[in-house]
Structure 1
């Protein structure tokens, strides 16, 4: 694997990558998004940071990982204040100038509506979601009833409102919901309203200035599918059923 990486490095010129920076700045959305990404004692943890550390170790490329509010990530990248953002997606609002380059898909993450079992099939009244998320159009009959939308800082805050009875529904990535249920020992507390509508989002590493590193990352992912699958299972990320 390292041989393949070094062939690319020699082709593009390693000095072009390392002269300007001792390391590259990589930022994630701020908030607790366990198991995909979150902060522990000031350090990024979870599936995506762990994956990037494996890539860094194999390639010799150093990443300085941090987190910023989700709505600032693309702006920081556009302004040259960070070098990479993760996760990103060509269909999201991260790319207003059309200058972003994207890696191959790293992960498919399903987002949908969850609520208490006693609310199953009922119209939505108050829905909580993370500020910056775009909700899908509702399927019938859910689409026939308007609802109030409340934005929160992260999924934990949304689910806390649901538990407190302040909202009846939460729209979130199901990986985060599954982890929250596990940590709070509430295995059968929520249901996934699949019929209301959901989205499957592919996660990509994005940059403006360093598409050559994305090429290296894509090759690394191709050569390390077994490792990546192992990490997915370890962190329980992906599109497997919620309950």
Structure 2
């Protein structure tokens, strides 16, 4: 009887091992970038978490979300220490991507990065921007030329809330960040929905976030297929989080 029980237990364990899929390390940004994603309290959440969890469940995989500061996340990814990186875009830090075989998913969600200003200053042009607030690790690409010429000085802080408060209190002339993140932070976190407004007339960047890897191109193919087959669910998820 004992031999039969032992054999049965081994069979159950072996079956469990057979159906258990791999666990991949997905490098993410250690930021409160809600509604896109957040690592507040050490728990990864938001649109990205729901999307990747749904994909992993459908494929029988699991993701370990490893939150890192933005600069370190790039270093770890380029060094091959992570299975995947999100968000990513092949235009970011292009010089460091040379020689690396990186696979990118289809566009997942769009983004618009630009400047939020006091309502009274909206539409007054880039000439009035002398002090530009931003978060460490984020590059205001549209303003680098002006920064290099000394026409704009960057004021870097550690969080989006701090940067927005700088703008609200007129310590900077504008705050550079993602439009959706700025709107959420103002409405939900700071409870000051109209304290700053996104100025569409100022230079801004539009693009898409993708999932990337240097190791598992076949999983990227599977993820792209998942996006196609579950397009309605993905669209509903974007609507839930106010994204496009």
Shorter-chain TM-score above 0.5: yes
**Does 1:211 pair with 2:217?**
yes
**Does 1:166 pair with 2:168?**
no
CA apart distance, 1:22: 4.4
Assess if the C-alpha contact under 8 Å between 1:125 and 1:147 holds in 2.
yes
The two structures have a TM-score, normalised by structure 2, of: 0.81
Which residue is 1:14 aligned to? Answer: none
**Does 1:129 pair with 2:134?**
yes
SS in 1 for 2:44: strand
Assess if the C-alpha contact under 8 Å between 2:168 and 2:195 holds in 1.
no
Which residue is 1:101 aligned to? Answer: 103
- Higher-Rg member (1/2): 2
Which residue is 2:232 aligned to? Answer: 226
Looking at structure 1, the residues matched to 33 and 221 of structure 2 have their Cα atoms a distance apart, in angstroms, of 27
Looking at structure 1, the residues matched to 100 and 109 of structure 2 have their Cα atoms a distance apart, in angstroms, of 22
CA apart distance, 1:125: 1.8
- In the alignment, structure 1 segments of 5+ residues that lack a partner are 1-17, 139-143, 239-243
1:86-124 Cα deviation digits (max 9, x unpaired): 000010016243321111100111111111112221511
Which residue is 2:8 aligned to? Answer: none
Looking at structure 2, the residues matched to 80 and 33 of structure 1 have their Cα atoms a distance apart, in angstroms, of 25
- In the alignment, structure 2 segments of 5+ residues that lack a partner are 1-17, 144-148
Which residue is 2:55 aligned to? Answer: 55
Which residue is 1:10 aligned to? Answer: none
Assess if the C-alpha contact under 8 Å between 2:131 and 2:152 holds in 1.
yes
**Count of matched residue pairs:** 214
CA apart distance, 1:62: 0.8
Please, what is the CA RMSD of the aligned residues?
A: 2.1
Assess if the C-alpha contact under 8 Å between 1:74 and 1:95 holds in 2.
no
The two structures have a TM-score, normalised by structure 1, of: 0.82
Assess if the C-alpha contact under 8 Å between 2:111 and 2:178 holds in 1.
yes
Which residue is 2:112 aligned to? Answer: 110
Assess if the C-alpha contact under 8 Å between 2:105 and 2:220 holds in 1.
yes
SS in 2 for 1:45: coil
Which residue is 1:190 aligned to? Answer: 196
Which residue is 2:14 aligned to? Answer: none
Looking at structure 2, the residues matched to 178 and 224 of structure 1 have their Cα atoms a distance apart, in angstroms, of 28
Question: When you count helix as a share of all residues, which structure comes out higher?
Answer: 2
